[in-house]
């Protein structure tokens, strides 16, 4: 059984993504209890419910802000992984490693309900980054490194839901964060890489 100390998202990553201590605490708690109420989130952040409501007028506003921060972290992670450099296989490894670091911290935010305009905003913020990932997959297919029958859109779908699954495995204590990252990388690599 994984101990509780291994179930929590890495503090440095949470701080890096969310910055503000109240947002960090709320995000960490949502990673362990996705249905948490504002009262529970306030307690986790060490503030009163009234204080939390002054900072975020509703639970929807809180989730929207966390999701925006997560979207920006996704964009930064892919950018910093330099997917246009090196061989497609090397680039894929860097991208998956960078996104895997975020999984336990932001993965379950993908299951939070969002208002339509918030979802549209998030999709707009990440559109260019998603296109970068499609280009990486196509580059690997053209070079013969990646299987041509795997649609780039499916790769984006796999990445999204494997990040959610990795986060949930950590939350439930089934895997450590490190193990979830390794399995994420192995699954994406096995799905894409051509065998000799």
Ranges of the chain with pLDDT below 50 = 1-11
CA distance linking residue 130 with residue 132, whole number of Å? 5
Tokens of 128: 């260019």
Residues 6 or more apart whose CB falls under 8 angstroms from that of 171 comprise: 7, 31, 32, 34, 104, 108
**Residue in the structure block whose two tokens are 């989730």:** 63
pLDDT tens readout for residues 107-132: 999 899 999 999 999 999 999 999 99
CA distance linking residue 87 with residue 4, whole number of Å? 39
Q: State the pLDDT at residue 133.
A: 98
Q: State the pLDDT at residue 171.
A: 92
Q: State the pLDDT at residue 195.
A: 81
CA distance linking residue 103 with residue 190, whole number of Å? 19
CA distance linking residue 143 with residue 3, whole number of Å? 44
Q: State the pLDDT at residue 71.
A: 95
DSSP letters spanning 79-148:
HHT-TTSS-HHHHHHHHHHHHHHHHHHHGGGGGS---HHHHHHHHHHHHHHHHHHHHHHHHHHHHTSB-T
Domains of the chain, earliest start first: 4-192 (1.10.357.10)
pLDDT tens readout for residues 134-160: 999 999 999 999 999 999 999 999 999
Q: What is the pTM of this model?
A: 0.89
CA R_g for the chain: 17
Q: State the pLDDT at residue 9.
A: 46
């Amino acid at each position: 059984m994984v101990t509780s100390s291994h179930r929590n998202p890495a503090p440095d990553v949470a701080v890096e993504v969310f910055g503000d201590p109240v947002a960090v605490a709320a995000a960490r708690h949502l990673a362990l209890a996705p249905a948490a109420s504002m009262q529970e989130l306030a307690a986790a952040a060490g503030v009163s419910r009234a204080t939390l409501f002054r900072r975020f007028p509703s639970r929807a506003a809180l989730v929207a802000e966390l999701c925006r921060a997560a979207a920006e972290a996704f964009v930064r992670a892919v950018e910093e992984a330099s997917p246009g450099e090196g061989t497609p296989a090397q680039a894929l490894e860097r991208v998956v490693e960078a996104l895997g670091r975020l999984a336990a911290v932001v993965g379950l935010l993908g299951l939070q309900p969002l208002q339509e305009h918030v979802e549209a905003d998030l999709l707009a913020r990440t559109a260019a980054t998603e296109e970068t990932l499609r280009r990486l997959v196509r580059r690997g297919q053209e070079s013969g490194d990646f299987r041509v029958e795997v649609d780039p859109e499916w790769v984006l779908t796999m990445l999204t839901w494997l990040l959610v699954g990795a986060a949930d495995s950590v939350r439930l204590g089934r895997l450590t964060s490190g193990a979830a990252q390794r399995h994420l990388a192995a699954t994406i690599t096995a799905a894409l890489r051509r065998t000799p």
